[in-house]
Amino acid sequence: MKKQFVNLFYKKKHRFLNPLLFIVVVLIAFLPSCTQKKQPVFSSNDQAKIITTMTDIMIQDITNPPLAARFFSYTCLAGYEVVSQYNPSFKSMYGKLNGYPVIKKAVPVQPYSNQLSALIAMMETAKKLQPSGPLLAAFEKDFLDSCRKTGIDEAVITNSTNYAMSVSQQILAYAKADGYNKISNLSRYTPAKGDGYWYPTPPAFMGAVEPYFNTVRPFALDSASQFKPLQPVAYSGVKGSPFYALAEAVYKEKNILPEDHRVIASFWDCNPFAVQDGGHLMYGIKKISPGAHWLGISGIACARAKKSFEETLQVYTSVSIGLMDAFICCWDEKYRSNRVRPETAIRKLIDPTWEPLLQTPPFPEYLSGHSVASAASSVILTHYFGDHFAYRDSVEVAYGLPARNFESFHQAAEEAAISRFYGGIHFMDAITNGLQQGTKVGELVLKKLTNQ
């Protein structure tokens, strides 16, 4: 090449070519680089908008916490798989997650955008998983219209969409194989009879939520019972017994309830089943799930740390995988021990008129799901951001609650866990043992994802 270049610009005896010819040759040499368009650039905020839209739809659909984690995990996996196919720094989940297939890499038609494909893969997956998928389809349409308005070529959008759909279809097949769709064929759950067992609680007396979620294939766990916790304190109506002491502690907390405890309980409520009794009519109160809250925290942390588009998607995916496995093993224990809620026990043993601060969710008490999910999430987020990552949690501002400041993710997880005691919906052993189980889940997920 160097010799050819010299021959073009020099004649014999080192005399220059005609100046006009020189200009023409230089223009031809640089023309390809001038006509190549740069890839459109997207940010972690675009991913956050998808997560937020999914959350809004889940509120409308009254999506339960375990199922919400399932929707988030496969949605994030679809986007992450696109990232892993074009960026060698991010490895595919093949060989890391249970049953994860080799995702066939379609050869994208040029021109296309890697990042746009990742976002579309997320939206295509979410809208086929969530019951109110058409609402997300409308969001996707608006999003792509905004891309057009910013000058992104129609060919880029079309080719990016085709590539994204190829990946999404394979992730959806992986999701279908996890066994969740078989749950509807199982027998209807009937509450056990006996004073120590869970029974539907006021005001709506809803039936048990996801009693068979432990049959769903986990991502990292060997089985739903891999981290089986200590047995809960056995029920007893005898004053002075360990169980009576647990119930009495919840009862006394409600009677005292300092204002800071009330604020903490409300901030971490995250009960999508909460309803308001209006006398002749009950209506739902808009609240997000624990998983949605922790993914919101993940987005805040990524923005504060200025994580790249790819790094942010890795964080979202890791946390959502941890949430899924946390709920699988927690729900496994809930319907094994099947322990009564404080509201039911306290009304029978101590005060028949007693009501908790928070509304009791419709499933057994032991373990505390928020404790397990929060501990798992905090372990994973600490891996990516460090032990002392301070942040301001504004996730619940949209739902009428002021932001709170935290010095670390572990501090937030511990506060989320104790909020269940302050709110009167969990006994203390369900909280402490829930934190332990969640920590083990988070550590296992990281071990599998990072091959440590």
Share of the chain above pLDDT 70, in %: 90
Residue 348: how many CB atoms within 10 A of its CB?
A: 14
Nearest to 71 by CA among 334, 272, 259, 233: 272
pLDDT tens, 292-337?
999 999 999 999 999 999 999 999 999 999 999 999 999 999 999 9
Q: Helix 65-86 to helix 114-129 angle, to the nearest 10 degrees?
A: 160
User: DSSP code of 339?
Assistant: B
State how far the Cα of 34 lies from the Cα of 23, in Å rounded to an integer.
16
Given CA atoms 29, 30, 31, 33 in this order, what sign does their dihedral have? Answer: positive
3-state helix/strand/coil string of 92-150: CCCCCCCCCCCCCCCCCCCCCCHHHHHHHHHHHHHHHHCCCHHHHHHHHHHHHHHHHHC
pLDDT tens, 406-446?
999 999 999 999 999 999 999 999 999 999 999 999 999 99
pLDDT tens, 205-236?
999 999 999 999 999 999 999 999 999 999 99
Question: What pLDDT band is residue 285 in, cutting at 50, 70 and 90?
Answer: confident
pLDDT greater than 50 at residue 43:
yes
pLDDT tens, 136-165?
999 999 999 999 999 999 999 999 999 999
Q: Which has more confidence, 28 or 335?
A: 335
What integer best gives the mean pLDDT of the chain? 91
Residue 206: how many CB atoms within 10 A of its CB?
A: 15
